[in-house]
């Protein structure tokens, strides 16, 4: 079946611009996670949704980052006033059951480059 999809696959923007990254989780998965991965490092947690609500946003680095999941399915990660340090691969994952240690299914990621 269809896995987690993310769009766009690549995004190049200029410093100070606004970007939106989209995640389509596996149908029926109630838990959705966003991670950020810098070159040569493991993914770092950003935010977790259970249904429509952000159950844990402790990983968001600052208030320029925001994410929504209005209908409990598709999620959008929004970054305002982008900075060069925001350049990374943004990964989305979903799981059938709540709990980080249930198997998470990851999308291919969106590679964000801020010039």
Partner 1 sequence: LAKTTHPISMDSYEGQEVNITCSHNNIATNDYITWYQQFPSQGPRFIIQGYKTKVTNEVASLFIPADRKSSTLSLPRVSLSDTAVYYCLVGDDSNAGNMLTFGGGTRLMVKP
> Which residues are near partner 1 by CB under 8 A?
4, 33, 35, 40-45, 48, 50, 55-56, 58-59, 91-93, 98-101, 103-109
Strand partners, 93: 33, 106
Shortest Cβ distance from residue 12 to partner 1 (Å)? 16
Shortest Cβ distance from residue 81 to partner 1 (Å)? 25
C-beta of 50 vs 76, nearer to partner 1 = 50
C-beta of 80 vs 102, nearer to partner 1 = 102
Estimate to the nearest angstrom the gap between the alpha carbon of 65 and the chain centroid: 10
Shortest Cβ distance from residue 34 to partner 1 (Å)? 10
Q: How far apart are CA 69 and CA 38, in angstroms?
A: 24
**111 in Cβ contact with 89 (< 8 Å):** yes
C-beta of 81 vs 92, nearer to partner 1 = 92
| Two tokens, residue 80 | 């305002």
CA count, 13 A, side-chain hemisphere, 34: 32
Shortest Cβ distance from residue 42 to partner 1 (Å)? 3
| Two tokens, residue 107 | 């999308």
């Amino acid at each position: 079946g269809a896995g987690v999809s993310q769009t766009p696959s690549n995004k190049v923007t200029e410093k100070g611009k606004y970007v939106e990254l989209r995640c389509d989780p596996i149908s029926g998965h109630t838990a959705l996670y966003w991670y950020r991965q810098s070159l040569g490092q493991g993914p770092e947690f950003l935010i977790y949704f259970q249904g429509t609500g952000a159950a844990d946003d402790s990983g968001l680095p600052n208030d320029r980052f925001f994410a929504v999941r209005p209908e409990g399915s598709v999620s959008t990660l929004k970054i305002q006033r982008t900075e060069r340090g925001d350049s990374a691969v943004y990964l989305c994952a979903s799981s059938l059951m709540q709990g980080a240690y249930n198997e998470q299914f990851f999308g291919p990621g969106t590679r964000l480059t801020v010039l």
